[in-house]
Amino acid sequence: MTTMALTLGVVTASGVVNITGMIQVGWVAWALRRHIRWSYMLRLLPGMSIGLAIGLFALKNADPIWLVRGLGATITAIAAWNLRPRRGHGQGSPFWDFVVGFASGSIGGAFNTGGPPVIAYLYRREDSPEVLKGTVQIYFLVFTIVRLTAASAVGLIDAHVVRIALALAPLIVAGAASGLALSRRVSPERFRTTSWLALGAMGTVLALRT
């Protein structure tokens, strides 16, 4: 998303990521379907729905330059947050379920990068890795389907975006496979830290773009 935003613009890049991401998370969610904690995912949906509408409105109406800067600042802030030490927090609460869902929906609607708030929130729970991954992926799948439908309805997804997404799909799949292979060779904590540092650096470049 960060690289494409520089070359294609935030509107087109968010649409391309929306389409290609749906394919990827759909497959992972299906593979982990027996481990999904549906109650976690469902509690995030009310806030996500409201935030998504606000994010799409901003994407359609805001100045493109400020959208790029906003994306960069958002990514940098998310990376900094996720570099903090992780602490368990039980099973969450209705208030924070709504806040996290709203934050994810808002960022995801505007930039299609709404995953980090949900990941940071759910991964602090004391569940098995399979449960956490499965629950996150089914949330992503529901979100991408809802966003794709809503974005298409307001004219943010067109044939041009679809063509780019189909052309880039093999490269995105290859990149995901490479990342998976690399994660198996590097310790989880080191891989996590390196990934967020790289993402934070890319976000800073976008935020400072003139």
pTM value is 0.73
Tens of pLDDT, residue by residue over 113-163, are 778 788 878 877 878 888 888 898 899 999 999 998 998 888 888 888 888
Which runs of E-coded beta strand occur in the chain? none
Helices and strands (H, E) in the chain, number of each type: 9, 0
Report the C-alpha gap between 210 and 150 in whole angstroms.
30
Tens of pLDDT, residue by residue over 55-68, are 899 888 878 777 77
The total of other beta-carbon atoms located within 10 Å of residue 86's CB is: 11
Burial of 179 (0-12, 13-18, 19+ CB in 10 A): exposed
- pLDDT at position 59: 85
Give domain limits for the chain. Answer: 2-207
Taking Cα atoms as reference points, which of 127, 6, 135, 121 lies closest to residue 71?
A: 6
- pLDDT at position 50: 96
User: Would you say residue 32 has pLDDT above 80?
Assistant: yes
Average pLDDT, stretch 179-205?
A: 68
Tokens 């590097």 appear where?
A: 186
Tens of pLDDT, residue by residue over 77-91, are 777 877 776 655 556
Compute CA 132 distance to the chain's CA centroid, rounded to the nearest angstrom.
15
Report the C-alpha gap between 33 and 135 in whole angstroms.
8
Tokens for 38? 């549906």
Sign of CA dihedral 198, 200, 16, 19: positive
Give the CA angle between residues 182, 184, 186 to the nearest 5°. 70
- pLDDT at position 52: 94
Taking Cα atoms as reference points, which of 191, 208, 194, 196 lies closest to residue 77?
A: 196
- Euclidean distance between the first and final Cα of the chain, in Å? 18
Report the C-alpha gap between 76 and 81 in whole angstroms.
9
